[in-house]
Amino acid sequence: MFHSKTPKRQHGASLVMAVFMIVVFSVLAAVMAKMISVSSETISYEVLGTRAYLAADTGNQWAQQKLFPVPASNTSCADVNSATVPNINSAPGLIGCAIESVQCQEFTENGVTYFTLTTTGLCNAGNISANRTIEVNARGQ
């Protein structure tokens, strides 16, 4: 009988297949590691953005307390713009955050005073930072 030469041609094919699989799995592992890294960075930005939003909201609440004190009195934006914003850096959940700016504008129409408060909160963590700005409209007395 005649011997087939096919088995000799396939000799060593498993080595080529093993190298191919190692390369494919290495690329797959590198892609997954990059995806995890990007995902954790995205979560960091999301958390910092939420904290910056809360810092800005804290600034708006502070400004409203200056505009509308209890007991009620006649107030103006000068009461907000001339005041020193509070340091919130030591508040739980806001460490590394600050009320970056608080601006108040007012106008009167038909004897009613309206206020526009614009507050920016800023949070830093290492080399990542986020800021959020909130604008609130309020009606005076």
Question: By CB neighbour count within 10 A (0-12 exposed, 13-18 middle, 19+ buried), where does 52 fall?
Answer: buried
In a domain, 127, yes or no: yes
In a domain, 133, yes or no: yes
In a domain, 31, yes or no: yes
Q: What is the pLDDT of residues 118-133, one digit of tens each?
A: 999 999 988 889 999 9
In a domain, 114, yes or no: yes
In a domain, 50, yes or no: yes
In a domain, 1, yes or no: no
What's residue 93's pLDDT?
A: 86
Residue 126: domain span: 6-139
**Which two tokens mark 65?**
């307390």
Q: What is the pLDDT of residues 28-54, one digit of tens each?
A: 998 888 888 777 778 888 999 999 999
Cα Rg of the chain (Å, integer): 31
Tokens 């600050």, located at residue: 98
| pTM of the full structure | 0.72
In a domain, 66, yes or no: yes
For residues 125 and 48, is the Cβ–Cβ distance under 8 A? yes
In a domain, 39, yes or no: yes
Provide the number of structural domains found in the chain: 1
